[in-house]
Structure 1
Amino acid sequence: MTKYVALLRGINVGGHNKLKMAELRDALQPLGLQNIRTYIQSGNILFESSESEERLQQQIQDTILTTFTITSTVIIRTADEFHSIVNNCPFPEQDLTDASATATGESLHVALLPVAPTEINSAKLLQYVSEKEGCIIKGRDVYLLFYDSIRNAKLSQHLHKLEVPATVRNWKTMMKLATMIDQ
């Protein structure tokens, strides 16, 4: 069995796509997932399965659509991939410290994608990097560093330029999920 983290895009955001995590856990039981756990209401699911990432992604998306009539992209990472994301943050420690001192709210976020963006689309997003907003794309993961706030940031408003669905989690959530994987 492989340990996985599934992250749902656009769940319980701004009063839209409301989905109770207890109901989601119940709906996923028939898929044969083991040790299903959720974290906060934004659609973070930890579980074990012997199925492939691609099959799980489709099964979970289909279950959410048929059970709750919600269309949500599901982004999946193995436990090893997830640990790699949090253990290999590409921003220098000084940048993280500086951003944390000036940011309103969380300064470090990760946008997780189902597939890596093309170089052309990556370049479209990277043109918005500035003194107040940093971005490093590593495969299917986009690290975002904000010295002010994600709410008004150009980078977060232009993630669609990657032309790949993305779901964003702040670093605090990423670290909590990494801890929960091993529990």
Structure 2
Amino acid sequence: MQKFVILFRGINVGGHNKLPMKSLVPILEASGFKDIQYYIQTGNVILSSEDEPTTRIKKIISQHFNITPEIITLNAEDFFQALSKCPYLNNEGKLVHFYFCKNTAELAMEKIEKYQIESEQYSLINNIMYLYAPEGIGRSKFVANMESCLGTAVTGRNLNTINKINTML
């Protein structure tokens, strides 16, 4: 069995796409997944599986919760690599963000230049956009337009969440 990190995109936000993690765990267990843990309701699941689990998990969620969220799946080694390659690890965890790309990212430089403010720093490494945003992301136009800047769907996590998942692994 191999460990996987499952990152859900756009669930449990503003009362939409409800996917209660506590209810999901026994359903995943009944489907043969092992060692299931979750971290906060925004969709971070760690589990063990014999094979790559994305398609099965999507089907399970669709059948039981009547939603079909985007899922980005990383095996444990890919997750560890993502963390180790972050160029902003020495900064405060809430100010560093990882944007995991669903498909191959293609930087739209004209959009990035339009939305990025001077204090924001970014690096795209192995299809993960790392962002250091010392002024936070609440009002960041770059973050609000991240998908159009990268040309693909993304799901973001801050370094604090990534570190917690890392500990759980």
Q: Same fold (TM over 0.5)?
A: yes
Residue 130 of structure 1: CA displacement? 3.0
TM-score of the aligned structures, taking structure 1 as reference length? 0.83
Q: Deviations over 1:139-159 (max 9, x none)?
A: 221111112121110221111
Q: Secondary structure at the match of 1:176?
A: helix
Cα distance between partner residues in 2 of 1:60 and 1:122? 32
Q: Secondary structure at the match of 2:131?
A: strand
Q: How does 1:1-183 map to 2 (within 5 A)?
A: 1-52=1-52, 56-91=53-88, 93=90, 96=91, 100=92, 106-118=94-106, 121-123=107-109, 126-127=112-113, 128-161=115-148, 162-181=150-169
Q: Secondary structure at the match of 2:4?
A: strand
Cα distance between partner residues in 2 of 1:179 and 1:122? 34
Runs (5+) with no aligned partner, structure 2:
none
Residue 124 of structure 1: CA displacement? 5.0
Cα distance between partner residues in 2 of 1:31 and 1:51? 13
Contact 1:112 1:141 in 2 (8 A): yes
TM-score of the aligned structures, taking structure 2 as reference length? 0.89
Q: Secondary structure at the match of 2:94?
A: coil
Amino acid at match of 1:116: T
> Which structure is higher in helix share?
1
Q: Secondary structure at the match of 2:14?
A: coil
Pairwise CA RMSD: 1.9
Residue 15 of structure 1: CA displacement? 2.1
Q: Deviations over 1:118-138 (max 9, x none)?
A: 3xx453554233322222111
Amino acid at match of 2:79: F
Q: Secondary structure at the match of 1:106?
A: helix
Cα distance between partner residues in 2 of 1:91 and 1:20? 32
Cα distance between partner residues in 1 of 2:87 and 2:78? 15
Contact 2:86 2:130 in 1 (8 A): yes
Query: Closer, same or farther in 2 for the Cα pair 1:84/1:135, shift >3 Å?
Result: same
Query: Closer, same or farther in 2 for the Cα pair 1:31/1:107, shift >3 Å?
Result: same
Query: Closer, same or farther in 2 for the Cα pair 1:125/1:34, shift >3 Å?
Result: farther
